[in-house]
């Protein structure tokens, strides 16, 4: 309770500020309507009218909540209007990108730790690759894959998500695979262990805590990548596409509901990855 109270207080504060902002931002429309009708509205009459507009500048929390509820539970989950359906499309893309990112990051880290040339020539470019805004590449990756005859958007989305999520894995794995100190390496040498055995029995287990620590960052990055991959040029499925549709048709409620659905998805992913991390740590005998 001691830890929940401050968080709840701040959340309550955010909701109060949100309501105040909704009244302030939506009031323009109410006054505008009143002036056109030739009437005047008092402040007390204006406030209720800001709470239930069809196209509000800023929908108040309860409107977003209703829309989210309708999107999540109001219809069959196979319906094109269901946020569960779109969320699942985004989730699929995120997982594909996440898996691809982990494989790429781990393989690259293994090569970098093994070969000095790789370390010197590839590592600086891996760092530079993250300063390049991937979103600039996103529309091009999508056209490129359709030119190559890959129908559907799963592959380009996964590539964009992987591009964002491989980096945290790479950095942590390089650190982790280098974690064993000279003494431990020497010990394995006295046992007559070859390079492969040293890798399997010392370096790999030693890198596991680093690996799992990087997964949380990687999964969040992968979700951002997937949503960005759904934004440009004509996607119709996924939470990113819902946001784009809401923006193009001037339906703010769709945008807000999709945004909160994405937030819920992000929260679930982080909780699940955190759970896997704890499980793995317990199996490896790390306390806590």
Partner 1 sequence: MSVLVLAILFWLAAWALNVWLAGSSVARTRLGKALVPLIFGITVLVLWEGLVRGLNVSFVILPPPSAIAAKIATSLPTLWQDAVQTILKGAIPGFLIGCGSAVLVAIAIDRSPFLQRGLLPIGNFVAALPIVGLAPILVMWFGFDWQSKAAVVVVMVFFPMLVNTVAGLQASERMQRDLMATWGASYWQTLLKLRLPAAMPFLFNGLKIASTLALIGAIVAEFFGSPVYGVGFRISTEVGRLGLDMVWAEIVVAALAGSLLYGIVSLIERWVTFWHPSQRH
Torsion-angle region of 286 (φ positive above 0: left; ψ -120 to 50: alpha; else: beta): beta
Does 220 interact with partner 1 (rule: CB under 8 A)? yes
Look at residues 170, 173, 171, 97 and name the one whose alpha carbon lies nearest to residue 134. 97
- Work out the number of other CB atoms within 10 angstroms of the CB of residue 125: 8
9 in contact with partner 1 (CB under 8 A): yes
| Token couple for 42 | 């008092």
CB of 38 to partner 1, least distance (A): 29
Q: Judged by CB under 8 A, which of 128, 151, 190, 285 binds partner 1?
A: 128
> Does 252 engage in binding with partner 1 (CB under 8 A)?
yes
| Binding map of partner 1 across residues 98-117, x = CB under 8 A, - = no contact | ------------------xx
120 scored as a contact of partner 1 (CB under 8 A): yes
- Binding partner 1 (rule: CB under 8 A), the pick from 80, 136, 285, 288 is 136
The nearest distance, CB 151 to partner 1, in angstroms, is 16
CA angle 239, 256, 93 (to 5 degrees): 15
Cα of first residue to Cα of last residue in the chain, in angstroms, is 21
- Give alpha helix (H) positions in the chain: 4-37, 43-49, 61-73, 83-114, 116-131, 134-147, 154-177, 182-190, 195-198, 204-230, 239-248, 252-283
Tell me which residues in 153-212 interact with partner 1 (CB under 8 A).
none
Question: According to CB under 8 A, which one of 64, 223, 235, 241 is a site residue for partner 1?
Answer: 223
Q: Select from 185, 181, 177 the least CA-distant residue to 210.
A: 177
Q: Can you give the binding site for partner 1, defined by CB under 8 A?
A: 3, 6-11, 14, 25, 57-58, 116-117, 119-125, 128, 130-137, 139-140, 142-144, 147-148, 216, 220, 223-224, 227-228, 231-233, 239-240, 243-244, 246-247, 250, 252, 255-256, 258-259, 262-263, 266-267, 270
């Amino acid at each position: 309770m001691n830890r929940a109270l401050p968080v709840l207080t701040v959340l309550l504060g955010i909701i109060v500020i949100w309501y105040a902002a909704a009244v302030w931002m939506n009031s323009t429309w109410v006054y505008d309507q009143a002036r056109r009708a030739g009437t005047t509205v008092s402040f007390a009459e204006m406030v209720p009218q800001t709470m239930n507009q069809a196209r509000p500048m800023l929908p108040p929390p309860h409107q977003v909540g209703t829309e989210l509820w309708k999107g999540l539970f109001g219809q069959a989950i196979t319906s094109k209007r269901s946020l569960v359906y779109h969320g699942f499309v985004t989730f699929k893309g995120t997982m594909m990108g996440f898996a691809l990112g982990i494989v790429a990051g781990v393989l690259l880290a293994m090569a970098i730790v093994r070969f000095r040339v790789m370390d010197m020539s590839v590592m600086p470019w891996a760092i530079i690759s993250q300063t390049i805004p991937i979103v600039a590449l996103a529309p091009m990756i999508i056209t490129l894959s359709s030119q190559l005859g890959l129908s559907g958007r799963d592959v380009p989305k996964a590539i964009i998500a992987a591009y964002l999520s491989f980096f945290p894995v790479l950095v942590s794995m390089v650190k982790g695979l280098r974690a064993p100190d000279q003494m431990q390496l020497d010990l394995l040498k006295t046992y007559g262990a070859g390079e492969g055995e040293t890798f399997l029995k010392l370096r790999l287990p030693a890198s596991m805590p680093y690996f799992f620590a990087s997964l949380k960052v990687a999964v969040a990055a992968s979700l951002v990548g997937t949503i960005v991959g759904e934004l440009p040029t004509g996607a119709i499925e996924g939470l990113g596409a819902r946001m784009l549709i809401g923006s193009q048709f001037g339906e703010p409620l769709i945008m807000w509901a999709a945004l909160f659905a994405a937030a819920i998805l992000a929260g679930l992913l982080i909780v699940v990855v955190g759970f896997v991390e704890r499980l793995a740590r317990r199996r490896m005998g790390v306390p806590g």
